[in-house]
Amino acid sequence: MKHEFVTLNHVQTHLITFGNPFDCDGKDVIVCITGNPGIPDFYIEFAAELHKSTGLPLCVIGHAGHDIVPDEQSNVLKGQEHLFHLEGQIKHKLELINNYVDKQSKLHLIGHSIGCWLILELLRDNENLAMRLKSVNLLFPTLQKMAETRNGKFVNNYLRKFHNVLLFLYLVVSLLPTAIVNFLVGIYLRIFSLPSRYLKYILKFLNPNVGEKILFLAYDEMDTVKSLNVEILNKIKHFTNVIYSSRDNWAPVSYMEDLHQPEIPMREVNIDHAFVLKSSERVAEMVTQFINTKL
């Protein structure tokens, strides 16, 4: 596993790679696009299991601005909003695939949550990308009517209205002594039975520069993700796999009906939307099974 920093669409970006997806003699490559928050560290266990079980080189990409990077300008939202909304995130992912992933390689795309919507949008105007596809896995996909979901209503009715308060709380946390923040996060991890290694990942989430971009993207999702991109789904239905959760307040199982086509295998599981916290291996096993049918 490697942690790499590259500049994509003018934003320095933290990538996590297994094998060498950028130079692999044309071997198939897995590209995993995270949900929001787009902090790739949370996907390490999931990616490691996928790499181990498929033997394929792999790259995990989060979202522009959702990580702490050395380049200070890449951490600034004001005046650069166009780099961090959904349209900017599409260009961000497209530059990774077009300019870094081995150009001879076929692709297995994996999206989680809003990462699924980004995959469909990437395929909308990029025929060359569609021609490279071997498989697509849409995990707990937020593809339509996000603002109408239970969590979407919470974002619009509460988080959005108290945005300045949230930013103030981020600032307060950043001013607290490190020992106190670590202690409080440690309590959170114990309450929810999460591994201690998540401490450093959550500290990234609590960074004010990261937090404001997570919220900025979330609001754009509420305003933008409305209609299902049926046209693209029809084009990729023969090599697409979809997983929904019976307890998902971002992508309710009732939304499965909009996607239903005989050619698209869909599975309903009892796993949290944020599967990377506790169910990485289980979901990786399901994704591996599908990828292996397309090799």
- CB proximity list for 139: less than 8 A, separation 6 or greater: 110, 111, 112, 113, 115, 116, 243, 275, 283, 287
3-state secondary structure of 5: strand
Question: Choosing from 66, 85, 92, 273, which is the catalytic residue?
Answer: 273
State the sign of the Cα–Cα–Cα–Cα dihedral 32, 205, 227, 245.
positive
Q: Is the dihedral of CA 249, 141, 257, 281 positive or negative?
A: negative
In whole angstroms, what is the distance from residue 134 CA to residue 132 CA? Answer: 7
Catalytic residue check, 23: no
| Chain position carrying tokens 């106190």 | 180
Instruction: Report the C-alpha gap between 288 and 18 in whole angstroms.
Output: 15
Task: List the catalytic residue out of 113, 245, 279, 280.
Answer: 113
d(CA 17, CA 32): 10
Residue 227 annotated among the catalytic residues of the structure: no
- Of residues 102, 245, 248, 280, which has the active-site annotation? 248
Q: Which of 221, 181, 223 has its CA nearest to residue 202? A: 181
Catalytic amino acids?
Answer: 113, 248, 273
